[in-house]
Amino acid sequence: MNLERSSIGIVGRPALVLVDMINGFTSSACPLGTDCPDVVAANAVLLKAFRERGLPVVFTTVVYHNDQQAKVFRSRIPALNCLTPDSNWVQIDPALAPIENERIFEKQWASSFFGTELHEHLSQLGVSSLVVTGLTTSGCVRATVIDGLQHDYAVVVAEEAVGDRNNDAHAANLFDMHAKYADVMKIDDVLRQLP
């Protein structure tokens, strides 16, 4: 038996949250990454649309400054140890390079909200809904979506602008997020709803 759910979509002032669209995740040359040019291109479309409308845009990256940060997470996934401040892997993919006034939030765990000032920043900008994109669907995107909901944002996931190394995990997590936490929408529908 399916639970009844209501679509909310984009309400009020939306922000685009590009989760970990960094070189280490968009390139298979990094042990954490996978080549995903279609996901990068979809993010570029949304980035252009938000910029043209003067809507807020934020990026996240994963950076470890010392051995004490996220010790258990890094013990589980040792490849994370390549994400150091001096590494090219932590830089935003050049196809999506931030411009002036677009904040990059460094994080150490999965959620873009956990241990960061993202919520405070969005609140100061009067944001009421989020369009979440990025990598990976089953990991940091999902964690950010759930925390976004738990901070009372209406959350939209732009379907073509998220990706995962595992297609089954990608599909299952899109299904689950749409059922419980967010509206998973095609990019064309997201663009139609932007103010």
Domains in the chain, start-ordered, CATH in brackets?
14-193 (3.40.50.850)
In 3D, which of 27, 58, 66 has the Cα closest to residue 123?
58
Distance CA 56, CA 115 (A): 21
Q: Give me the percent of the chain exceeding a pLDDT of 90.
A: 97
- Per-residue pLDDT reduced to its tens digit, 129-171: 999 999 999 999 999 999 999 999 999 999 999 999 999 999 9
Q: What is the pLDDT of residue 1?
A: 52
Give this prediction's pTM. 0.96
DSSP string, 90-134: GSBPGGG---TT-EEEEESSSSSSTTSSHHHHHHHTT--EEEEEE
Q: What is the pLDDT of residue 2?
A: 63
- Per-residue pLDDT reduced to its tens digit, 46-83: 999 999 999 999 999 999 999 999 999 999 999 999 99
Catalytic residue among 30, 36, 82, 140: 140
Q: What is the pLDDT of residue 70?
A: 96
Residue 36 known to be catalytic: no
Does residue 93 surpass a pLDDT of 70?
yes
Distance CA 134, CA 25 (A): 9
